[in-house]
Chains A and B, each alone.
Chain A
Amino acid sequence: GESVGLHLPTLSVQEGDNSIINCAYSNSASDYFIWYKQESGKGPQFIIDIRSNMDKRQGQRVTVLLNKTVKHLSLQIAATQPGDSAVYFCAENSRSNDYKLSFGAGTTVTVRA
């Protein structure tokens, strides 16, 4: 079946360094991708999204890259801060799946001071 998955369950980053979180998806018909951040005890919070007709999108300190050839999505966080410590989820949906969101299992990012 279709699935969305992250490459690594945990990532430890030195404060000030850049973080890269990776995600692989299997549905070639996916046309919308989202990155969410979830802090402990809270609901997922939207970070950035990208549609399948784009390969890069930038936000404030975050960049999402989409490689449709290998079905790979990444989230780059510049100058990682302690407040970036959280679980990060990638999610995708597609018209072929009635636009239901499918989530990966998440990557826990820990920022070292």
Chain B
Amino acid sequence: NAGVTQTPKFQVLKTGQSMTLQCAQDMNHEYMSWYRQDPGMGLRLIHYSVGAGITDQGEVPNGYNVSRSTTEDFPLRLLSAAPSQTSVYFCASSYSGGGETQYFGPGTRLLVL
């Protein structure tokens, strides 16, 4: 199993540009989530999904969209990038959301100029 994979590893955007961060898992996990990590603030939940076709907002959803058309994939879209979205983004998955360990991908480092 590859586990949780994320692409790209690093991206530089200009303010106003759009992009999609890709996340995939091959563990047949129902629950997937996106976090952002900023210095000194730990990880904050952006969006999550409890299964294909179902998504919900986390703690910091503004400026981000998600969709879950398959169990394996959970892309995160930035429609109009802003410097405040400069961060490291992690995708995670677990068998279910309830009291199960979440496994994290290697992260995408995003710089918005």
A interface residues, Cβ below 8 angstroms from B: 4, 9, 31-32, 34, 36, 41-46, 49, 51, 89, 91, 93, 95, 98-106
Any A CB within 8 A of the CB of B99: yes
B interface residues, Cβ below 8 angstroms from A: 4, 33, 35, 40-45, 48, 56, 58-59, 90, 92, 97-99, 101-107
* Contact A99-B98, Cβ < 8 Å, known A42-B107, A43-B107, A44-B90: yes
Q: Which residues on the B side are within 8 Å of A9 (C-beta)?
A: 40
A104 to B37, CA, bound (A): 11
A32 to B40, CA, bound (A): 23
What are 17 inter-chain pairs, A to B, with CB distance below 8 A?
A34-B101, A34-B102, A36-B104, A43-B107, A46-B102, A49-B101, A89-B42, A89-B43, A95-B98, A98-B97, A99-B98, A100-B33, A101-B33, A101-B43, A101-B45, A103-B35, A103-B42
